[in-house]
Structure 1
Amino acid sequence: MHDLVEVYFVCILLYLFIPLPFVLIKIRSLTYLKHPILISYFLFQLLFFIGNILNLMHYFIFAYNGIGIYILVHIGNLITIIGESILILLLLFIAKGWLINTTVLRQGKKTVILFILYTIACCSCYILSIITTNPVIDSNHYQTFANYFSLLFRCFVMFLFVFELKETTQEEKNFERLQFFHHFGACCMVWFIYPTALIFIMSFVTELYRVKLIISVVILVNFLSILIISYILFSPKTFINLPKITSIKNEDRILNKTTTDTNGYHKSSITEHDEDDDEDDIEVYGPSHLLLNTSNQRS
């Protein structure tokens, strides 16, 4: 178990030197922007980082005194599970074509309710797997019936993701966007399936290295998911039209108009007039109270 200190330490260093500076820059440039896609993007990274920090603390103490603080591991794993659920919610947002070929989230309330139920189910399965693990027979919770149920829930969400992506591609006529959805779907399918394949492969690995390899692969895949999602959202060639709010230093006049859709999200149209009499229209989508706060901050 002492080797896991090095694994988590390397993971924390990777987070600090690659995603964290990029995230800080984006947060600074998007101070007045509160869109659900961006909130999900920042939040799942933060939860991954906190979960790895707590696990590192436990294994570092364990390497020192041979006991550790196992409650930190359980809290860290639960936080990581919540982060994965938020990542799945973000993937469903993109699969529905939100801000790609539509500005209105399709069945937004049902998606959020599904996310809440999935998070509760996965956290409950993890807690149940910890309770039912026999320390004499089983040395980890990955091969318990509760964990197998969590894999079934993950497969169910995967099929839902495929269905939503199919609905979106049927409505899409642009060839380049269709290619984007196809590549995005293939990449996400690998992410959805890998835990099942990993557990099956690790059943043939000796117990001495099994848990270490599982944790190492999970950490690596989560880190790669951050890099891939960052590229999808902020690449110069991205098809996701994230709303942007320009600086207000050179603004002479701002006209703000808000309308409501059926999903509880509001559309805010902002018309800006600069000194050259050029008009820029900016459309921002999000919950009404967030848009009102944004308007107040700008005024």
Structure 2
Amino acid sequence: MVSCYLDEVTCTWHHYTGAPSADNKTLTNTPQTIEYDLWLVNGSPNLSLSNTMFYQFSFDRQNTLELYLLFWLCYIILMPVQIYAVRTQRHPVTKLFTSSLVLEFVALCFNVLHTMKFAADGVGFPRLAVAGDILDIMSRTLFMLLLLLLAKGWAVTRLELTYKPLVFGVWMVYGIVHILLYVWNTTEVDIIEEIDEYQTWPGWLVLTLRVAIMTWFVLELRNTMMYEHNMPKLNFLLHFGASSLVWFVYLPIIALIALQISPLWRFKFLLGITYSADCLAFCIMAHLLWPTRSEQYLLLTPSGYTAGIDELDEFSESPHVVHSDTVALTAESINAEEEEVIFARPQKNGVAFS
């Protein structure tokens, strides 16, 4: 405290004079309780009309609210479209993709609420932010599971999934390690250290697992395409594989690029690229799995005998199948004058077919 006062008449400061007394201009011996609010912000709070979006945030996290709102608007458009699609075609692949999209949207809603509250009071909803981050990780791991299942040909070339324990085991390991990395990064890494989650050994472990899963994805997709001869399905697998491979490989690449970026911009760089890649991947997958398009290459799981007949029909139409009722070429079947080859079939019900 300073032993002076402001003279409101002359608008000047004066020292207290005389012995302590109870008047306004003299010190007293009465104990005083002072209540104060210390508010540290980035920028002047009095200029709130011009910088409400970022003066509560440190520089490396400024403009994150705008990023969250931008992608939230994108998902607001994508969500009703995908809900319509899953109601139109109740297929396991469509349901799994919709579940991943819903988790991502809920996670983004939590992050938007926390960031908006933080922009207002500098506190926000910390628990809601943690829940949003974990749901975001779960959404990405569920999307990765969908990519692995489709690469193995599930619901595209076959109805039964092979090596189920291996697929779900790898998926669970990746998800658990990713969540443990998030917990470790938020509890063990000092906030003043200029590192991000991908500059630590748990981060490198997650990236290594992602690259290993990507390699497995490519091998499974190659194996599936080798035994598929239906052109619509091959076109789907080709476009699906190209877009999925980009989604797999982007994170290790930007993690390496982030090492060369200043810590002041690194978080916003990783956040923007990650959300952009995920949003683009969801949009492409929604396009590929749209009901009028996916019915050309997704198995709709018919029941019992009909399913077997349909699969046999598709197999019999494959180019590598030689029908048993086709007569081999002989010298007698060749017309020397017209030089035409005739495939003759045995008579059926007294009628010859050619």
TM-score for the superposition, normalised by structure 2: 0.64
- My pick for the range that moved more, 103-112 or 47-56, is 103-112
The Cα shift of 1:131 comes to: 2.4
Q: Mapping of 1:198-277 within 5 angstroms?
A: 198-234=254-290, 236-238=292-294, 239-243=296-300, 268-269=303-304
- Does residue 46 of structure 1 match 2:102? yes
C-alpha distance in structure 2 between counterparts of 1:177 and 1:193, whole Å: 24
Letter in 1 for 2:84: I
The Cα shift of 1:269 comes to: 4.0
The Cα shift of 1:179 comes to: 4.2
Structure 2 counterpart of 1:4: 64
Structure 2 counterpart of 1:133: 189
Structure 1 pair 142–58 and aligned structure 2 pair: CA distance change class (3 A):
farther
Q: Give structure 1 stretches of 5+ with no counterpart.
A: 245-266, 272-280, 282-299
Q: Mapping of 1:1-299 within 5 angstroms?
A: 1-17=61-77, 19-30=78-89, 33=90, 35-138=91-194, 140-175=196-231, 177-234=233-290, 236-238=292-294, 239-243=296-300, 268-269=303-304
Q: What CA deviation, in whole Å up to 9, does each residue of 1:46-81 have, x standing for no partner? A: 111111111112211221122333333322111111
The alignment-based identity, stated in percent, is: 26
Q: Give structure 2 stretches of 5+ with no counterpart.
A: 1-60, 311-354
Structure 1 pair 154–269 and aligned structure 2 pair: CA distance change class (3 A):
same
C-alpha distance in structure 2 between counterparts of 1:36 and 1:177, whole Å: 17
The Cα shift of 1:193 comes to: 1.0
Structure 1 pair 83–163 and aligned structure 2 pair: CA distance change class (3 A):
same
Cα pair 1:126 1:147 within 8 Å, conserved: no
Aligned length, in residue pairs: 246
Structure 1 pair 68–2 and aligned structure 2 pair: CA distance change class (3 A):
farther
Question: Larger Cα Rg: Structure 1 or Structure 2?
Answer: 2
Structure 1 pair 3–84 and aligned structure 2 pair: CA distance change class (3 A):
same
Cα pair 2:88 2:291 within 8 Å, conserved: no
C-alpha distance in structure 1 between counterparts of 2:260 and 2:173, whole Å: 33
The Cα shift of 1:176 comes to: 5.1
The Cα shift of 1:197 comes to: 0.9
Cα pair 1:48 1:83 within 8 Å, conserved: yes
Structure 2 counterpart of 1:263: none
Q: CA RMSD in A?
A: 2.3
Cα pair 1:2 1:62 within 8 Å, conserved: no
Q: Which has the higher contact order (CA 8 A, sep 6+)?
A: 1
Cα pair 1:99 1:242 within 8 Å, conserved: yes
Going by fraction, where is helix more abundant, 1 or 2?
Answer: 1
Cα pair 1:5 1:56 within 8 Å, conserved: yes
The Cα shift of 1:215 comes to: 0.7
Q: Secondary structure at the match of 1:134?
A: coil
TM-score for the superposition, normalised by structure 1: 0.74
C-alpha distance in structure 1 between counterparts of 2:198 and 2:113, whole Å: 21
Structure 1 pair 2–63 and aligned structure 2 pair: CA distance change class (3 A):
farther
C-alpha distance in structure 2 between counterparts of 1:13 and 1:237, whole Å: 26
The Cα shift of 1:155 comes to: 1.1
Q: Secondary structure at the match of 2:155?
A: coil
Point out 4+ residue stretches in structure 1 off by more than 4 angstroms: none
Structure 1 pair 90–145 and aligned structure 2 pair: CA distance change class (3 A):
same
Cα pair 2:244 2:281 within 8 Å, conserved: no
